[in-house]
Amino acid sequence: MTICRWIRLAVAPALALALAAGARPATAENLTPVTLMLNWTPNNHHAGIYIARANGWYAEAGIDLQIVEPAAAGADQVVGAGKADFGISQAESVIPARANGVPVVSIATILPYNDSSLMALASEGITRPRDLQGKTYGGYGGPLERELIDRLVACDGGDPDTVTFVEVGNIDYLAGLERDRFDFVWVFEGWDALRALEIEGKAISTIKFVDHLDCIPDWYTPVFITNEATIRERPDLVERFMAATTRGYRRAAESPDEAATALLEAVPELDERLVRASARYHAPLYIAADKPWGFQAAETWQRFETFLREAGLTDTHVDAAAFTNRFLAED
């Protein structure tokens, strides 16, 4: 898994919508069929979902959960069109989606802060943002990538104009770094960086976004989303879905090996060593101190929304309706 980049908003292809809408199997009469669209192929960000399903907690909540992988345009468009009940997205997609009239709402964050970082081989000597001067970044070619890197470098006293950007898409980033196709990439600490360091045994360095919040804003990624109409017309369904999901992430925090086993049983093609290492990495991070799992702070959304607008990445103000903590279970 690599981080989902800045998604260009477009109407989801008819085929993708039909796939999501038609993915529900026949179910027992007492269960409500519910579709959840992921943001990427299954990984440890999704462990709470799989452990909740494996333990029958969705069924206990009256839900027959069907998990589908994302459409080409992302879960925002599919959920916004009412073709999937819930989805997993990220704030950098939710905000521009709402700015363009897509009625999606974030109902929980999987992690309480952005666990992204910029990763390089240790031999590049990149230990702080100004070390990115004269280096080549490999990514998706999105404007958010460039804006964040420019701000990080400038904030640390460097010249962002000396950074070269190349578009490489979804490739094996570690192999690209070793072949000198580029010098640094944007990854999640708990997956690609963990794989490079602990599984592959590579000497790497990372610049964690959360360590530089004086220069760039924090934001929530990934997040669970649903449609405004679902909240308005079926709040009981959202409550039941969130209750089971919360149980899953609490268990993943308490029992990472059990969470890893549930994910591996559902998706056996995943690398077991990475899944188990990632489960242990994420377990202490899922729940922030003194807050319920999934809690989203208004100031975090507001600061990131302002950042996107001031950087020219969106041109319409998006208000606090982009998220809600209404359906979170109290501790």
CATH number at residue 165: 3.40.190.10
Q: What pLDDT score was predicted for residue 71?
A: 76
Residue 190 lies in a domain: yes
Which of 177, 212, 247 is the last residue in one of the domains? 212
Residue 177 lies in a domain: yes
Tell me the per-residue pLDDT of 286-328, one tens digit each, with 9 for 90 and over.
999 889 999 999 999 999 999 999 999 999 999 989 999 999 9
Alpha-carbon distance of 118 to 182, in angstroms, equals 12
Residue 329 lies in a domain: no
Three-state DSSP class for residue 210: helix
From 100, 144, 68, select the one nearest 312 (Cα to Cα). 144
pTM of the model: 0.90
Residue 285 lies in a domain: yes
In this structure, the answer to whether residues 188 and 305 fall within a common structural domain is no
From 169, 171, 185, 166, select the one nearest 124 (Cα to Cα). 185
Element holding 256 (H helix, E strand): helix 256-266
Tell me the per-residue pLDDT of 256-272, one tens digit each, with 9 for 90 and over.
999 999 999 999 999 99
Residue 1 lies in a domain: no
Number of independent structural domains in the chain: 2
Q: Is the pLDDT of residue 212 over 70?
A: yes
Query: Would you say 138 and 192 are in contact if contact means Cβ atoms under 8 Å apart?
Result: no
In this structure, the answer to whether residues 140 and 190 fall within a common structural domain is yes
Tell me the per-residue pLDDT of 169-181, one tens digit each, with 9 for 90 and over.
878 889 999 999 9
**Average pLDDT of every residue of the chain:** 91
**Could you tell me the residue range of the domain that residue 44 belongs to?**
14-113+220-322
In this structure, the answer to whether residues 234 and 272 fall within a common structural domain is yes
Which of 158, 185, 212 is the last residue in one of the domains? 212
Q: Is the pLDDT of residue 75 over 70?
A: yes
Which of 182, 212, 242 is the last residue in one of the domains? 212
Residue 44 lies in a domain: yes
